[in-house]
Structure 1
Amino acid sequence: MAQCDIIIGIDAGTSVIKAVALDLSGRQIATSAALNTYRTGADGSAVQSLPQTWADCVKAIRGLFDRVDNLAARTAAIAVTGQGDGTWLVGAQNAPVTDAWLWLDARAAPTARALSQGAGERARFEATGTGLNTSQQSTQMAHMDRHLPELLDRAEVALHCKDWLFANLTGVRATDPSEASFTFGNFRTRDYDDTVLNALGLSHRKSLLPPIVDGSQTVFALTPDAAQATGLLAGTPVSLGYVDMVMTALGAGVHTGHAGSACSTIGSTGVHMRSVLSSDVHLNGEGTGYVICLPVTDFVTQVQTNMAATLNIDWALRMAADMMTDLGYEHSYSDLVPRIDDWLARSDPSTLLYHPYISEAGERGPFVNANARASFVGLNANHRFADLLRGVVEGLALAARDCYGAMGDMPSEVRLTGGAARSDGLRAILSGCLNTPVRVSARDEAGAAGCAMMAAVAIGAYETMDECIATWVTPLLAQAERPDPALVATYDGLYAAYAKTRSALTPIWDDLAAHHAAMTVPSENDHTEMTTDARPASRGA
C-alpha cells in the first residue's frame, strides 16, 4: 500500500490556477497549471465564470498525474487558496447566480465613496482593520444591494474564489477567518461583527455569509463527485486555506518567530506585510490597508498593497523594446530583463524622483486614489535610459517605505518573494530605502506552500504551525543582506521629497481625470476578454 506522503496545494490566482505537489517536509515535487480567463467591460466590470474556474482547477489537479507516480494513493491532503476579495454568489443546488465579480471590478466605486463618508465608517475600520475599496466583497455586496438587489435575492451564499473551489471539492459552503474578518468581521475575534454589517447597510443580508472554518484545525472529505472529476480518492482530507496574500507571505517567511519581521512580494503588484500580535496592530488615521489573520494563534498581518510594482518596470522595458523593434531590431521586453542590474549599476542613485502609480486603477496603499498616476520629477537633458530605469526601481522602494510607514515603525528585517527579488540591484535599493536587512526566500509557489502548511498541521503531520514553519520556511531563507549606509542617507532625503510631491500632486491627478473623462465617451458594448499575456496578474503574483 502506498504511503500518504504528498499534500496538494492549490493556488487559484487571477491569471492562472496552480496545483503543487509537496512532500510532508515541504519539498516541492511537481507543479501543474491551467490558465484563467475573465472579461472586462467599459462599465468597469471584471467578471469570471464560476463553472469554468472549477473546470480549470480540475485541469490543474489532473496535470499532476503526469508528473507524480501513484498520486491519488499518496495524497494525504488537499489545500486550497485563491485570489482575495471579489464576490462569488451561489444559489440553489450550488448553481452560480451570475459571473463572479473579481477584485479588479470597479463598479462599486460610487458605493465605496459613499460608505467611506458614512457615520459608521471609523467603527467599521476599527473592527476590520481594513480600509474600504472597490475590490472588496463587502463593498460589492453593498453596491448590489443598492442597485442590483435581485442578484442577492437569488443567492443563498456569498463566497470567495477559494471558497467556491472548496465547495466543489467538499460540498461544504464556508469561508476562512482571514477573509471573513476583513470583509464583515473583527480581526480580534475572527468572527462576523454586527457593527460592520450595520455600517455597510447589510444587516438584512447576514444570512448570505457562510460559516467560518479554520483549515489548520478542521478538514472535510473530498466528495465522490469531486474524486471522479479530479482522479483523487474520495474521502481525502481537504483544508480551506486563508486568502492568497497571507498564504504567500506565510510560505515566504512573514512569520518565523522573529519580532519585527515582514514580507514584501514584489510582483506585478506590491504587497507589504508584517506579522504582529492582534493587540499590537497600528491602525493609521487615513483608514487604509488591511489586517488579515494568520493561521497562528493571536497573530495577524498588517498589509498595505501597491496597485502596481513590477508593472512599472515592464512599462519601461516595453518602451525600450518597442523603439528597438521600430528600428528593425526585433525585441520583446522580456529579452531586456537580464540587463536590469547592468543598467542599475551604470546609473547614480537619487537623480530622479518617480511615483510608481502606473496602474489605470490608481493607487490603494497606503492611500486610496483612483486618479493617481505615475510621474517623473527632476528630468534634465543629461538623463539617459539607465537613469530612468533606476528612478523607476527607486520609486518602487519609496512606495514600499510609504506602505511600511503607514503600519508603524520600519520592520527589523524584510523577507522578499516575487520575480523581482532575484535582482541584486533592486534588493540593494529596497534595503537602503527601508534601512532594513532583506532576505530572499528560495520557496517556489509560496501561496500553494502556505495553504499546504495549514493542511499539514490539520492532519497532524506537525503539532503546531510554528513547528511546520521551522521545517518548511526558515531553512529556505537566504543570508540577510545589510543596507548600504550611503544609500540609507541618500534615500532618506529622497523619501522626504517623494512624500511632499505625492501630496502636492493630488489635485493635479483629479484635474487630469476630469479632463480625460470629458474627452472620452466609451461604447456601451465595449468589453474585453483578458488572457494571461494581457491582464494584470493577481495581487500576490
Structure 2
Amino acid sequence: MYVGIDVGTSMVKAAAFDASGREIAVESRPVALDIRDGFVEQDMDEVYAAVVDVLATLTSGSAGPAGPTGPAGPAGVELAGLTGQGDGVWLVDAQGRPVRSAISWMDGRAHELLDEWMASGVFASVFRRTGSAMFPGCPGPVLGWLDRHEPKVLDGAATALYCKDMVFQRLTGVRATDVSDASMPFLDPRTRAYDDESLALLGLTHRRGLLAPVSDPVAVGETRGPGLPTGTRIANGPYDLPACALGAGVTRPGDGLLIIGTCLASLVATDTLDLEAGEPAGLYISTDRQGQWLRAMPAMVGTAALDWVLRTTGVRHAEVDALLDQAPPGANGVQVLPYFAPSGERAPFVEPRLRAELTGVSLETTKGDLVRATCEGIAFAARHCLEAAGLTGDLAVCGGGTRSPAWMRLFADVLGRPLRVVEGEVGARGAVLAAAERYGVELDAASWTRPTAVVEPDAGRAEFYTVAYAKHLAHLAEARRRARGRAGTPG
C-alpha cells in the first residue's frame, strides 16, 4: 500500500491507498491550538506523537475502513509521502527537538512589525523579489518578531522549519525543506534559491543559518523510528496547498483548485511568472516542475469562520444544509464579511487589522439567515481570490466544506461555474503522487485524481449573486479603509 500523511492545523491524518488510487483506510487524531491574545501556538511533541499514532494504527491493520474495502491491514508499505500545514515557525535543535512551542500560521503577534514593513515599502519590495505577500503568521514577520523579543531562543535553535519538515526530520534524521514551503517568503521563484537581498530587507541576514536547505526535487529518506516500519521510503513532499493541487489533478495552466478548509485557499496553475503586476498579495508557489508555479491566494477566512458562527448560535454542523435551504439567496438582507482571523486577511490583499463584520441584522433575523450569510460571505471571498489568481480553466474543489451539498450548490452559484468535487484525503493523495514521482514509481495520475461529482450552477441564482458580489466588494472596500485607519496607514 501507499501511505500519505497530512499534518493539518487541527487534525493529523494518514491515509492508505492501493496502486489504483483507491482510498483503503484513514486514521486521524486531533491536535490542539493554544490561542490567546492573538498568539496561536502548537506543541510540537503533541503533533509528532499524533503522526506516530496514526501511522502505527494505520499500518497495524486496526484502522477503521475508509469505505467498503475494509481496513488497511498489515500490508507492506511501498512508499510514503508527507505533507502538512505551511507557514509559521517550528524552531528545533540539531536533533529536530523543539526549542519552544511552534508558532502557527494563524498567529497575529507580528502585525505591528508587518505594519512597519508595509509603511516603509519593505513589504512591497520583498513581494516584487519573491512573489510572496507576507502576513503576520508567515516566517518573515514571525522570525523578525522573535529576533526582537526572544533572541536567545533563536540563538539556541538549529533550524526554523515548517511543520512537515519537523516531522520529516524526526522520522528520518534529514534536515530539509522543499521549494513549495520555502516559497513563503524567502525563495526567489526564478532561481529556486533563497534570496539574500530579501533577508537583508527584513533585517534577518544574521539569521540565515536557521533556514533549512532547500531540496529540489523533494527530499527523500528512510524511516528510522516509530510509526512506519523501519526503512520505509518516504518523501518530504510539497506542503498542503500544492499537495492538494496534485491530489486533485490541477496541473494544466489556467486550471484551479479551491480548498474549503480552515484556510480558504485558491490556487491556479500557471507557467507565467509576473512579479510586477497587481496589488502585492498571495504568492507564487514553486513546484517540483521547473517553469511551473501555482498562483496562490490562501485566504485566512475559511471553515473556521462558519464554525465560530455555528458555536455562537448553537447550530450543529448536521443542521447546516437544512438551514441553507430554508434561507433565500441574499439571506434576507444579512451580510457577513467573514474575516475572523486574529491576524486579519492575507489574500487577495493583506490587511492585518481587518476584522469580521455582520450587518443587516434585525429582530426578525433567523439562524438560517446568519448561517447562509456566512456561507455566502466565504463564497464571495473565494470568488475574489480566484479572480485575482487568474482562473480561466476548470475548477476543482476539495476540503471539509465539500461535505455540505447545499454549500457546494451555493459555491457553484456564486462562482458561476461547474465544480469538480474531489473528496477524500486529497492532500495525502497528492503527497503520495509526489513521492511516487520522486522515486520513479509509476502511478496512473488520472485514476488517482478522478472527481467524485460535478456540481453545476443555477443560471438564475448565478445572476443574482453577480450583483450581490459587487455589493460585497463595495462593503469590503469600506471595511479595508477603516482597518487602515486603525493601523495609521494611508487609505
Normalising by structure 1, we get a TM-score of 0.81
1:483 matched to which residue of 2? 457
What's the CA shift string for 1:405-424, capped at 9, x where partnerless? 3224x433321112322434
1:32 matched to which residue of 2? 27
1:237 matched to which residue of 2? 233
Contact 1:264 1:417 in 2 (8 A): yes
Q: Rate the CA distance shift 1:288–1:247 in 2: closer, same or farther, 3 A.
A: same
CA distance in 2, matches of 1:121, 1:313: 30
1:353 matched to which residue of 2? 335
- Which of residues 141, 144, 151 in structure 1 aligns to 2:143? 141
Aligned counterparts, 1:294-309, within 5 A = 294-309=287-302
1:496 maps onto 2:477 in alignment: no
Contact 1:215 1:241 in 2 (8 A): no
CA distance in 2, matches of 1:63, 1:213: 30
1:469 matched to which residue of 2? 445
2:438 matched to which residue of 1? 458
Say which SS state the counterpart of residue 182 (structure 1) adopts: coil
CA distance in 2, matches of 1:364, 1:309: 12
Q: Report how many aligned residue pairs link the two structures.
A: 478
Deviation at 1:243, TM superposition (A): 1.1
- Which of residues 258, 262, 266 in structure 2 aligns to 1:268? 262
CA distance in 1, matches of 2:152, 2:306: 43
2:2 matched to which residue of 1? 7
Q: Which amino acid aligns with 2:223?
A: L
Contact 2:84 2:164 in 1 (8 A): yes
1:254 maps onto 2:256 in alignment: no
1:365 maps onto 2:347 in alignment: yes
1:219 matched to which residue of 2? 220
CA distance in 2, matches of 1:425, 1:95: 44
Contact 1:404 1:411 in 2 (8 A): no
Q: Rate the CA distance shift 1:138–1:360 in 2: closer, same or farther, 3 A.
A: closer
CA distance in 1, matches of 2:295, 2:478: 27
CA distance in 2, matches of 1:61, 1:386: 40
- Which of residues 208, 211, 214 in structure 2 aligns to 1:209? 211
Name whichever of 368-377 and 130-139 sits farther off. 368-377
State the percentage of identical aligned residues: 32
Q: Which amino acid aligns with 1:459?
A: Y
CA distance in 1, matches of 2:99, 2:362: 55
C-alpha root-mean-square deviation of aligned residues, in Å?
Answer: 2.7
Determine which structure has more spread, i.e. the larger CA radius of gyration: 1
2:201 matched to which residue of 1? 199
Deviation at 1:316, TM superposition (A): 4.2
Deviation at 1:378, TM superposition (A): 4.3
Normalising by structure 2, we get a TM-score of 0.89
CA distance in 2, matches of 1:498, 1:348: 11
1:389 maps onto 2:371 in alignment: yes
CA distance in 2, matches of 1:472, 1:496: 38
Unpaired runs of 5+ residues, structure 1, are: 1-5, 322-331, 515-541
Aligned counterparts, 1:17-96, within 5 A = 17-42=12-37, 44-64=38-58, 65=60, 66-67=62-63, 68-71=72-75, 74-96=76-98
Contact 2:127 2:133 in 1 (8 A): yes
Q: Rate the CA distance shift 1:414–1:94 in 2: closer, same or farther, 3 A.
A: closer
Say which SS state the counterpart of residue 357 (structure 1) adopts: coil
Contact 1:320 1:333 in 2 (8 A): no
Contact 1:163 1:173 in 2 (8 A): yes
Q: Rate the CA distance shift 1:20–1:492 in 2: closer, same or farther, 3 A.
A: same
Deviation at 1:267, TM superposition (A): 2.3
Contact 1:263 1:273 in 2 (8 A): yes
Deviation at 1:12, TM superposition (A): 0.9
Q: Which amino acid aligns with 2:317?
A: S
